[in-house]
């Protein structure tokens, strides 16, 4: 779940915090986890995590967002104790392009080392898009999926 919708959201407030508290309470009752994703403004994640203590409120790490929105923030170190989900994709550091890993300038060695250090045992999910990333002419649908699998395997190694 994104906690903001742009790089210029309204200031965080008690109203917003109350809404996230309600979501956390509902998640606790339903036995589900809500994973909050790093996007443009990490202080919003800090505000929520600092003020809501719930084992159902976790973190979804997005490699592409960190690379282009909050480069150098090291979100895995900051929120790794709450890591519940991954959205792995690459970009040029300027735009959120959702390209295949190793197609941009994301530091995969650093990220995968940190994920291993955190002993993450969840799903490794690629958040990639052939159309959005502009590679429709390079791959058939099957070819894109095979290349995604090859790169996911490379990440795991």
Look up residue 37 and give its two tokens: 């994703």
Reference 68, options 44, 42, 92; nearest CA is: 92
Q: What is the mean pLDDT of residues 20-46?
A: 97
DSSP lists the bridge partners of residue 58 as 35
- Taking only the tens place, the pLDDT of each residue in 46-98 is 999 999 999 999 999 999 999 999 998 999 999 999 999 999 999 999 999 99
Contacts for 66 with CB less than 8 Å, ≥ 6 apart: 38, 73, 74, 75
Domains and CATH numbers, the chain: 14-156 (3.20.20.150)
Contacts for 11 with CB less than 8 Å, ≥ 6 apart: none
End-to-end CA distance of the chain: 28
């Amino acid at each position: 779940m994104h906690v903001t919708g742009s790089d210029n959201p309204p200031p965080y407030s008690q109203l917003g915090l109350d809404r996230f508290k309600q979501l956390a309470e509902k998640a606790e009752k339903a036995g589900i986890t809500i994973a909050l994703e790093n996007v443009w403004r990490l202080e919003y994640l800090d505000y929520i995590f600092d003020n809501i203590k719930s084992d159902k409120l976790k973190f979804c790490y997005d490699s592409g967002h960190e690379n282009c929105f909050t480069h150098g923030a090291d979100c895995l170190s900051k929120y790794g104790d709450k890591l519940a989900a991954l959205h792995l994709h690459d970009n040029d550091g300027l735009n959120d392009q959702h390209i295949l890993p190793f197609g941009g300038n994301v530091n995969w060695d650093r990220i995968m080392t940190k994920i291993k250090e955190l002993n993450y045992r969840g799903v490794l999910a690629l958040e990639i898009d052939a159309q959005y990333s502009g590679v429709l002419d390079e791959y058939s649908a099957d070819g894109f999926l095979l290349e995604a699998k090859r790169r996911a395997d490379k990440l795991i190694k």
